[in-house]
Chains A and B, each alone.
Chain A
Amino acid sequence: MSKTRIGDQVGPYFGEYGGRFVPEPLIAALDQLDQVYSKARHDPEFLKELDMLHREYTGRPSVLTEATKFAAAVGDCRVFLKREDLNHTGSHKINNVMGQALLTKRMGKKRIIAETGAGQHGVASATAAAYFGLECVVYMGEVDTERQALNVARMRLLGAEVVAVRTGTRTLKDAINEAMRDWVANVDTTHYLLGTVAGPHPFPTMVRDFHSIIGKESKQQMLEATGRLPDAVIACVGGGSNAIGIFHEFFDDDVKLIGYEAAGDGIDTPMHSATISKGTPGVLHGARSYMLQDEDGQTSDSHSISAGLDYPGVGPEHAWLKDLGRAEYRGITDKQAMDAMALLSKTEGIIPAIETAHALAGIEQLAKEMPGANILVNLSGRGDKDMETAARYFELTGVNRTVGDE
């Protein structure tokens, strides 16, 4: 390995990926964000404030749970779950949201907008808005407002306005388009609280930094639990934030890094969201990265049972890691993910988000390739929001049996 550490890389470019492919009206806001964040990144006051929020509001550090029964059921390995599902609001998304909300205050802006797929980023944003007294508008594809109805209600209870997006495929991609349009019009008063490591610089670097606490904590916790580094670190990949968050601290260690993308009906069918495995380089939502597109450069529709992975783009740093060969990306079908969701629920009493289940589903194969491996998984979120989908999928509506008189 050369002396330059992969982990030291910051935007705007990750190799040939990244950049700022956005309309000029947004550049002033991106410059401002870049300046404010570049300062905050090294400002002890800012870091202290964020640390306090992590400890006293979010509930960090999140614990590490060894899943012995799940491991026994899938093969010859040890499985360690980094429990981001136990964070306030139920996923890793809050790490980034608290950081950006603090920056919003520093920039003197009073309104935040966010896109959301699974609704977890929307809920986290609505939560931060309530906590910090900000106005909050969340854009969500109409399809996702239906499959993640519980999270729509949560956002509204928290005081956010939820806007169903009816354009295009009516999923996460179109929610981002709509949020960008809102931002162009209201950039003076509004911060766009982007929820993943995609988008124009500085978002990929900044969002990664805010999630890198996941890897920092879990590295320490793995050393305490096993006396050594894990053999593999794995996570699901939608836009790529929870994966980068847990990978980053391990970039320059001798540890295998694997991201699991949604393969929908199958990676060789047209119905998937496996952006890195099956996509090609292009520009989407402000950055150059891998994306799903047709031969005309029109963005292709993505498909996944998981709203949070149903996205035809991915963060530019992942594209770079893939080309470098530093991380590997694999596809997991809807069925494999749902089976893994059920297995973790029954063996460990932990119901994961369907997004997260994509990472869990990869372990069986990995244990065959690396017998005896210690595998660290980012358990990025809990599955409450997915109960409607799971109930339909597993036919769980109603009770097993009834006793007593009518």
Chain B
Amino acid sequence: MSKVSELLNQDKSTLIGYFPAGYPTIDESVEACLEMIKGGVEILELGIPYSDPIMDGPVIQKATEVARANGFRLRDSFEVIRRLREQTEVPILVMSYWNPILRIGLREFAEELKTAGANGLITPDLIPDEAKDWIEISEELGLDRVFLIAPSSSDVRIKRNAEASRGFVYTVSTMGITGERGELDALARDTVARLREVSNTPTAVGVGISTGTQVREVNEYANAAIVGTAFIRAYAEGGLTGLIEKTQELAKGLQLQSD
């Protein structure tokens, strides 16, 4: 049974926090993730820096470029996971584009991931249609696999992607790449409603969420809210203090549920 889906099926609001491994350095990324967890992040989405991140906006692109410029190598991801795992029980899902995983070799990557203590993978550019091997290996190793659904997905695809997922299915809130949005449109709510018609798989909504209010709104209809860019911007502008403050603000959205 997936620890992530168990957590998300509880009757409570949840905040999932994205942060890139190795940003700005390996040590500092471990430190930052632990602060996010201390402040209320209950599932960590650990991003792997990649040269061609087509789902990501300028803030995440820049952060991952910094990590790579500071010498981050793919296998450092496992080191970051190990060090986090020594200090926290919180589920860790790795977010990686597909090519780095293929390059190491899917089985080897998955086994190392598990050994290091991660719970699974979020794959932004892998759809279930292309994921036969990954589905087999993740079943065998008991790793979570998070596919995406989007406002543009057909009902058939929503059902298929949700059922192919393990842990949760990632609802992309809006048509666009990662970054902050002033207002979350109705698209996310509609997409989750369509999901609920066809599947019980828990879902977390991400892309564009940057305030405590949005975290609360999303938790009204979904199992969790995913925040990435807002954490990175806060860290880039205000260091660890900025990150801690932002985490506190976002975590308020968890308490103020249905006021």
Shortest beta-carbon distance, A401 to chain B, in Å? 50
Additional pairs, 15, CB under 8 Å, beyond known A24-B148, A180-B54: A20-B129, A20-B130, A21-B126, A21-B130, A24-B172, A25-B151, A27-B153, A29-B152, A177-B52, A181-B55, A184-B176, A283-B98, A285-B54, A293-B99, A297-B102
Q: How many A-B residue pairs have CB under 8 A?
A: 111
Counting CB contacts under 8 A, is A405 at the interface?
A: no
The yes or no answer to B150 lying at the interface (CB within 8 A) is yes
Bound-state CA distance A29–B154 (Å) is: 11
A167 within 8 Å of B (CB atoms): yes
Name which residue of chain B comes closest to A179, CB basis.
B54
**Which of B103, B125, B177 lies in contact with A181, CB distance below 8 A?**
B177
Q: Is residue B66 contacting chain A, with contact meaning CB distance below 8 A?
A: no
Interface code B152-164, partner A: CB below 8 Å = 1, 0 otherwise? 1110010001000
Q: Tell me if A373 is interfacial: C-beta within 8 Å of chain B.
A: no
Chain B residues with CB under 8 A of A295: 103
A24 touches B157 (CB 8 A): yes
Shortest Cβ distance from A173 into B: residue: B52
Are A296 and B150 in contact, with the CB atoms below 8 A? no
B126: chain A residues within 8 A (beta carbon) = 21
Residue of B nearest to A297 (CB): B103
The answer to the question of B50 belonging to the interface, with a C-beta cut-off of 8 Å to chain A, is yes
Quick one: CB contact mask for A162-179 with B, threshold 8 Å, 1 for yes?
000001100001000100
As a 0/1 sequence over residues 21 to 42 of chain B, the CB contacts with chain A under 8 angstroms (1 = contact) are: 0000000000000000000000
In the assembled complex, which residues on chain A have CB atoms less than 8 Å from the CB atom of B102?
Answer: 282-283, 297
Give the contact stretch, choosing among A185-193, A250-258, A333-341. Answer: A185-193
Smallest beta-carbon distance B34→chain A, Å = 25
The answer to whether A284 has its CB under 8 Å from any CB of chain B is: yes
Which residues on B sit within 8 Å (CB–CB) of A188? 152, 175
Smallest CB separation, A68 vs chain B (Å): 46
Contacts of B55 in A (CB 8 A): 23, 181, 184
Q: Which 4 A-B pairs have the closest CB atoms?
A: A297-B103, A297-B100, A25-B150, A185-B176
Q: Which residues of B contact A21 (CB under 8 A)?
A: 98, 125-127, 130
For A99, the chain B residues whose CB sits under 8 A away are none
Q: Are B161 and A24 in contact (CB under 8 A)?
A: yes
Interface size on A, residues (CB 8 A): 35
Verify if B68 is at the interface (C-beta below 8 Å from A): yes
Contacts of A284 in B (CB 8 A): 52, 99
- By the criterion CB–CB under 8 Å, are A168 and B52 in contact? yes
**When the two chains form their complex, are residues B101 and A177 in contact, meaning their CB atoms are under 8 A apart?**
no
Question: Interface code A31-55, partner B: CB below 8 Å = 1, 0 otherwise?
Answer: 1000000000000000000000000
A285 and B97 CA atoms in complex are apart in Å by 11
Of A20, A167, A185, A296, which is within 8 A of B73 by CB? Answer: A296
A299 at interface, CB cutoff 8 A: yes
A58 CA / B168 CA spacing, docked (Å):
51
- Chain B residues whose CB sits within 8 angstroms of the CB of A181 once the complex forms: 54-55, 57, 177
> In chain A, what residue has the closest Cβ to B58?
A167
Contact B100 A298 (CB under 8 A): yes
Q: Smallest Cβ distance from A186 to chain B, in angstroms? A: 7
Please measure, in the bound complex, the distance between the C-alpha atom of A293 and the C-alpha atom of B153, giving whole angstroms.
32
A143 in contact (CB, < 8 A): no
Specify the chain B residue showing the minimal Cβ separation from A298.
B51
